[in-house]
Structure 1
């Protein structure tokens, strides 16, 4: 069984890359180009995990998170931040805001996927290359 992962990212190249990687590793990728579209897709599809950029046109990542947490249907979905900054630099502020975690957009694909999968239930994780 594959996980359904929503990517909310305004940069098309980054969004396309994430969709490609997730699909290549057996997950179902959903994609949105801005916060409003991402929020609507999250409410309609109820994904297993959301990967959200912080700096989005219109409704930013913090606004998306607040709206998701305010809605009983989406409140429990793990939301990770995708950032160009190294994960440690903003971890405390993001955790305080209510994000479940963050990952660096500059990570290698296997590292990025391993980080994402850590937030999925075991039944929805896929085997990664090099994993025992």
Structure 2
């Protein structure tokens, strides 16, 4: 990847998953920042100016659905693609995630290559 690395904000409350996603993305030459608390995600997104947001749907304090809607309602953040990562794997769950404004969806447990391919496709 020539030039400046693409920036990915990872919103994930599980410490192991957060580390896995960030390490995996860094190994593929992305610049990452992790956020464990969804309530901080909008502020961190404004400060970090990511090219992509990877977000768990099952977060404490604020649901991933609400957070996606908040990000898409923010004029400075709405153009940033969002990839939802969730253990919810039903068809209606995917429809709800997309209806909230997510651009892509990967189910847990994740396939590492599918995860990386999905990130690359959005960027």
* TM surpasses 0.5: yes
Q: Does 1:37 align with 2:40?
A: yes
Structure 2 residue aligned with 1:123: none
- What are the Cα deviations for residues 3-40 of structure 1, in whole angstroms up to 9, with x where unaligned? 10011000000000001100111001110001112221
- What are the Cα deviations for residues 58-103 of structure 1, in whole angstroms up to 9, with x where unaligned? 1221121121111110011101111123475622221112111111
Structure 2 residue aligned with 1:128: none
- Asked whether the 8 Å contact 1:35–1:59 carries over to 2, the reply is yes
Shift of 1:107: 2.6
TM-score of the superposed pair, with normalisation by structure 2: 0.89
Q: Which runs of 5+ in 2 are unaligned?
A: none
CA spacing shift, 1:89–1:114, aligned 2, 3 Å: farther
TM-score of the superposed pair, with normalisation by structure 1: 0.83
- Asked whether the 8 Å contact 1:10–1:56 carries over to 2, the reply is yes
Distance in 2 (CA, whole Å) between partners of 1:100 and 1:57 is 22
Distance in 2 (CA, whole Å) between partners of 1:5 and 1:20 is 12
CA RMSD of aligned residues (A): 1.5
Runs of 4+ in 1 over 4 A off after TM superposition: none
